[in-house]
Structure 1
Amino acid sequence: MALVGKKFPNITVDAISEMGDNLRINVLEEAVNNKKKVLLFWYPKDFTFVCPTELHAFQAALGDFEKRNTMVIGASCDTNEVHFAWLNTAKDNGGIEGITYPLLADTTRNLSASLDILDAEWVYDDNMEEEILEGSNVTFRATYLIDEEGKIFHESVNDMPLGRNVNEYLRLIDAYTHVQTKGEVCPANWEEGKDAMNADRNSTAAYLSSH
């Protein structure tokens, strides 16, 4: 079920800071109370292969997100203790040492289930005469962009092997901010500094004829 245009779920989740402090984070409240946009990205598991490349890529771009008044939050279904161990593992050993944004520890899977991003399905087992869970019950690579009012303005879900392009989220934040501030809409491949359009046919025709 698409969540774009809706409020982010009002669910509080365990989390950990870079220093190993145990936190409780409600993403909706983080956006609204701090009047910031939030980028929340989910990854399947700590201590895996594609995942650390993504966490370090978001860390490398953290200053660019902060310039755009955007908080970055990572998330998986691992525990705070596993997160802490990974945070204390060197980058050249597959770890995420140096990551400074918080990581959600959705061990209850309350939030990820609400977002419907878990690789899991309940099926009926005739032999056991009961429903059993199939799948890894960890999250796909889901990404949410949330505005200052707590509304989701972008969501995407990648399969496990497919890493994300961090620059695309910066572009989407720029585009949404342009809509917020200028009231114009952003055409295909729009980037900051390029022409946008008014939401009418004449503007579309003029844009297409000039590009």
Structure 2
Amino acid sequence: MALVGKQFPNVTIDAMSEMGDNLRINILEEATKNQSKVLLFWYPKDFTFVCPTELHAFQEALAEFEKRNTKVIGASCDTNEVHFAWLNTPKDNGGIEGVTYPILADTHRHLSSILGILDQEIDYNEETGEETFSGGNVTFRATYLIDETGKIFHESVNDMPLGRNVAEYLRLIDAYTHVQKHGEVCPANWEEGKDAMNADRKSTAEYLSKH
């Protein structure tokens, strides 16, 4: 079920800071109380393969997100203790030492279940009453962009082998901010500094004639 255009769930989750502090984070409140955008990205597991490349990629772009008044938060179903161990593992050993944004620990899978992003299937045998679970019961690579009102303006879900393109989320934030400020709509492949359009046929025709 698509969540774009809806409020992010009002759920508070355990989290770990880079300093080893146990936190409690509510994504909706992070956006509305701080009047900032939030990028929340989920990954399957700590101490895996593609995941550290993504966490470091978001860290490398952190200053760009901060320029856009956007807070970056990671999330998985691992515990705070596992997060802390990973944060203290050097980069050259597959760790995420140097990551400074918080990471949610959705160990009860409450928020990820609400979002519908768990790799989990339940088969029910009507004859025996037996339930069979399959899947890893961890999250896909889901990403949510939330605005200052707590509304989700972008969501995407990648299968586990597919790492994200961090630059695309910066582009989406730029586009949404442009819409907020100017009331214009952003055409395909729009980037900051390029022409946008009014939401009418004349503006579309003029844009297409120039590009």
TM-score normalised over the length of structure 2: 0.98
Report SS of the residue matched to 2:95. coil
Provide Cα deviations, 1:48-95, integer angstroms capped at 9, x if missing partner: 000000000000000000000000000000000000000000000000
For 2:123 and 2:55, the matched residues in 1 are separated by 33
Match of 1:14 in 2: 14
SS in 2 for 1:174: helix
Identity of aligned residues (%): 81
Partner residue in 1 for 2:85: 85
By how many angstroms is 1:11 displaced? 0.6
Partner of 1:70: 70
1:149-160, aligned counterparts within 5 Å?
149-160=149-160
Structure 1 residue 158, shift from structure 2 partner:
0.1
Residues 1:112 and 2:116 are matched in the alignment: no
Once residues 69 and 112 of structure 2 are traced to their aligned partners in structure 1, the CA distance between those partners, rounded to angstroms, is 25
Query: What secondary structure, in the 3-state scheme, does the structure 1 residue paired with 2:9 have?
Result: coil
Instruction: Supply the RMSD in Å over aligned alpha carbons.
Output: 0.9
**Post-superposition offset of 1:134:** 1.2
Q: Which stretches in structure 2 are left out of the alignment for 5+ residues? A: none
1:109 maps to a residue whose letter is R
> Which residue is 1:200 aligned to?
200
Answering whether residue 173 of structure 2 is matched by residue 173 of structure 1, we say yes
What amino acid is aligned across from residue 122 of structure 1 in structure 2?
A: I
Moved runs in structure 1, 4+ residues, more than 6 A? none
Inter-partner Cα distance in structure 1 for 2:88 and 2:157: 28
Whether 1:183 and 2:188 are equivalent positions in the alignment is no
The one-letter code of the counterpart of 1:90 is P
Moved more, 130-139 or 48-57: 130-139
- Cα distance in 2 for partners of 1:88, 1:71 equals 22
The number of aligned residues is 211
1:178 Cα deviation (Å)?
0.1
What SS is found at the alignment partner of 1:4? coil
Q: Which TM-score applies when normalising by structure 1?
A: 0.98
Deviations 1:87-141 (A, max 9, x none): 0000000000000000000001000000000000111146863213211000000
Letter in 2 for 1:34: N
Tell me the distance in 2 between the aligned counterparts of 1:152 and 1:94: 32
The separation in 1 between residues aligned to 2:14 and 2:128, in whole angstroms, is: 34
The alpha-carbon deviation at position 3 of structure 1 amounts to 0.1
